[in-house]
Amino acid sequence: MEQTQVKTNSLVKVAIVAALYVAISFVVAPIASGAIQFRIAEMFNFLAFYNKRYIFSVTIGCMIFNFLTYGIVDVIVGGGSTLIFVTLGTILFKSLKGKRVGIGSISYNLQFLVFAIFFSLSMITIALELHYLFKEPLLLTWATTAIGEFLSLLIGGWIIEQIGKRVDLTL
C-alpha cells in the first residue's frame, strides 16, 4: 500500500472512531455528562492499547461532545484530561499486556482493569471543573464521576476486547 493510502486509511479510522464516540455519547446524553455520568463511549479509550492513533480519536470525539454540551472550558479540561490520561495509561500499563485477572467467574484483561481504575481516578479534573463552574461538591462529584467512569470503562473494556477477538484493531 502506498504511503498516501496508509495515511488516508489511518485518518479515516481516527475520524470514524471520533464520530462513533460523539454519536454514542449523544444516544446516552442525559447520563453522559454532569456530576453523575455514564459515558459508554469511553470504551473507545481502550482502542489506544491496540493502536496509538486512537488516542486522537477519543480525544477529538470527547472534545466535540464536550463542546456541544458544556462549551469551550470542557473542551480544554475534559479533552485535555482525556489526551493526557489515555496517553499516560498506554505508557504506564504496557507491561500488563496479555495478563488476565479473575473477577468471580469472569476472566478480565488486567491491563484494561488497571487502566479503568487509573482513568476513573483522573475524574478529579472533571470534578474540579464542575466544582468551579457549577459549585458542585468536589469530593462527592469526584466520587460520582469516578464510579460512573469506572463502570462505563469496565463494560466498555469487555466490549472492545470482544471486538478485538474478531477484528484486528492494531491495523
Contacts of 90 (CB under 8 A, 6+ apart): 48, 49, 52, 55
For 102, the enclosing helix (H) or strand (E) is strand 100-103
- How far is Cα 154 from Cα 112, in angstroms, rounded to an integer? 8
Percent over 70 (pLDDT), the chain: 99
Domain ranges across the chain: 3-166
C-alpha cell at 8: 488516508
With H, G, I as helix, E, B as strand and everything else as coil, classify residue 70. coil
With DSSP H G I counted as helix, E B as strand and the rest as coil, what are the percentages for the chain, rounded to 5?
A: 75, 5, 20
**pTM for this structure?**
0.95
Cβ atoms of 32 and 41 closer than 8 Å: yes
Cβ atoms of 40 and 20 closer than 8 Å: no
Amino acid 170: pLDDT = 94
Cβ atoms of 91 and 55 closer than 8 Å: no
* Residue whose entry in the numeric block shows the C-alpha cell 504511503: 3
For 47-85, how does the pLDDT look when each residue is reduced to its tens digit (9 = 90+)?
999 999 999 999 999 999 999 999 999 999 999 999 999
Q: Tell me the mean pLDDT in the region 111-137.
A: 98
Give the sign of the dihedral formed by CA 42, CA 44, CA 46, CA 49. Answer: negative
